[in-house]
Amino acid sequence: MEIHHDLVVLAKSFAVALAVGLDVLAVSVGVGVTRLAFDASIRVGSAFAASEIAMQVIGYGLGSGAGRLLGTVATYVGLILLAAIGGMMIRNSFRDLSYPTFDATRGLGLVVTSLSISLDSLGVGMALPTVAIPLLPLLIIVSATTTIFTFVGLAFGARLGERYERSAERTAGILLILLAGWFAVEHFV
């Protein structure tokens, strides 16, 4: 009986990690279109995984009740941030190169991008106590899957960037806006 329970908890943990990871994969493709250097890929992968884990922990701490409201608000804020990042990337693709551009791989740009994809994890974290998923095993699985999905997405995005090099930043921005719309529709349906 105990083994069955452990397998159910493990299956729930993998399902949550997969759902969180697919968001990260999609955004990583959009960021990867700009063909990042290896050190930037490591920064992005680490930041995405760290932000997903931090939001899960914060959400878990908030639990339920008022946490459900915050989870819904956090999802909307994440969608708006994702679309805004896409808009900034599109705008920057039309600028002269002498102007500073939005950089999703370092500084404030990396923080904003990481937060935009991890705010939905706040809501997921708040639901964890109600579905009896222990936090530590989930965090281990989420950190591994998020990192893997980030690198796969960045690599796939880089391949797209090779094909569409002249408009890579514009393409990345369009992808991020489309993803924000897709996630919004998914959330409402």
Q: State the DSSP string of 39-88.
A: HHHHHHHHHHHHHHHHHHHHHHHH-STHHHHHHHHHHHHHHHHHHHHHHH
Residue located via tokens 């990690």: 17
**Overall average pLDDT of the 91-113 stretch:** 71
Q: 44: pLDDT confidence band, cut at 50, 70 and 90?
A: confident
Question: CA-based Rg of the chain, rounded to a whole angstrom?
Answer: 17
Q: Which amino acid is present at 187?
A: H
Question: Which pLDDT value is given to residue 132?
Answer: 67
**pLDDT over 60 at 33, yes or no:** yes
What pLDDT, on a 0 to 100 scale, did the predictor assign at position 17? 80
What pLDDT was estimated at residue 101? 62
pLDDT in tens, 108-144: 888 888 887 777 677 677 766 666 677 888 888 888 8
Pick from 29-33, 74-78, 108-112: least confident: 74-78
At 136-154, the pLDDT tens digits run 888 888 888 888 988 888 8
Q: Check residue 93 and give its pLDDT.
A: 66
Q: Given this model, what pLDDT does residue 185 score? A: 79
Q: What is the pLDDT of residue 82?
A: 62
pLDDT (average), residues 79-95: 70
Is 77 in contact with 119 (CB distance < 8 Å)?
Answer: yes
pLDDT of residue 127: 67
135 close to 84: Cβ distance less than 8 angstroms = no
Q: Given pLDDT bands bounded at 50, 70 and 90, which one contains residue 158?
A: confident
Closest CA to 34 of 161, 170, 179: 161
pLDDT at 90: 74
Residue corresponding to tokens 């804020």: 77
For residue 26, count CB atoms less than 10 angstroms from its CB and return exposed for 0-12, middle for 13-18, buried for 19 or more: buried
Tell me what pLDDT residue 167 has. 64
More confidently predicted of 71 and 49: 49
Considering only the C-alpha atoms of the chain, give the largest distance between any 2 of them, rounded to a whole number of Å.
65
CA dihedral 88, 93, 96, 99 (to 10 degrees): 30
Which of residues 72 and 185 earns the better pLDDT score? 185
